[in-house]
Copies of this chain bind each other. A is one copy, B any other.
């Protein structure tokens, strides 16, 4: 198993969304970051949208804790929220500050439709469905960044810090933990043969839709931003 393999459900879902998964994880935006040709303005644009994204993404993990079926699921979900809110977001604010965007500018970022589409899709999948629907919709973000990071961990150039974060051991461990959480949650509710049940198709469809929305996020990140304050 290579280090970007994050469990059984991930393998099944990724295979069923293969063409879309490739487009997402090998997106032109990622390639321009990797080869260093991405204009800094586009990186700043991405950072700002990603800040708004992280707020809603944290809310989605909080919803996962509210919908957890075991103390263990609750512990993993709440630890993730805690890490996002008390570690990632302050780090993100610091990174943006280095790029000359202060916290007020960050907060004033207009959330673009392609950004909003993904987080609301995830949250709504969670509210209308159960813990598993939420996990299937969340997975492409966490595990896709993991796959990109694992593939490009050793990139050098202006964006190497970004790749080091997502390719680094800490984030890769998180990905394996999330993959294991998902696998256990599936088996705990639906049994070892969950992949044969009708519900499996619904979950794979949500994973695929979320993967397409991640493509849309990169498309947006490549597009010159509107003039924000």
Contact = CB atoms under 8 A, between A and B. Distances in A.
Most chain B C-beta atoms within 10 Å of own C-beta, residue among A62, A74, A199: A62
Interface string A173-215: 0000000000000011111000011110010000001001100
A86 B74 CA distance: 10
B130 A127 contact: no
A78 B66 contact: no
A81 B65 contact: yes
A100 interface: no
A116 B127 contact: no
Nearest to A190: B197
Copies of this chain assembled into the complex: 4
Nearest to A125: B120
Contacts of A188: 198
Contacts of A91: none
Interface size class of A (residues with CB under 8 A): 35 or more
A82 interface: yes
Contact of A216 (B89, B113, B129): B113
Interface in A92-137: 111, 113-114, 116-117, 120-121, 123-124, 127-130, 133
A213 to B, nearest CB: 6
Nearest to A89: B71
Interface stretch (A30-38, A53-61, A143-151, A162-170): A53-61
A202 to B, nearest CB: 7
Contact of A66 (B63, B69, B117): B63
Contact of A196 (B64, B117, B127, B191): B191
A117 B202 CA distance: 19
A229 to B, nearest CB: 15
14 contacts: A55-B71, A60-B66, A62-B65, A62-B68, A62-B77, A65-B65, A66-B123, A79-B86, A113-B117, A113-B213, A117-B121, A120-B120, A124-B127, A189-B198
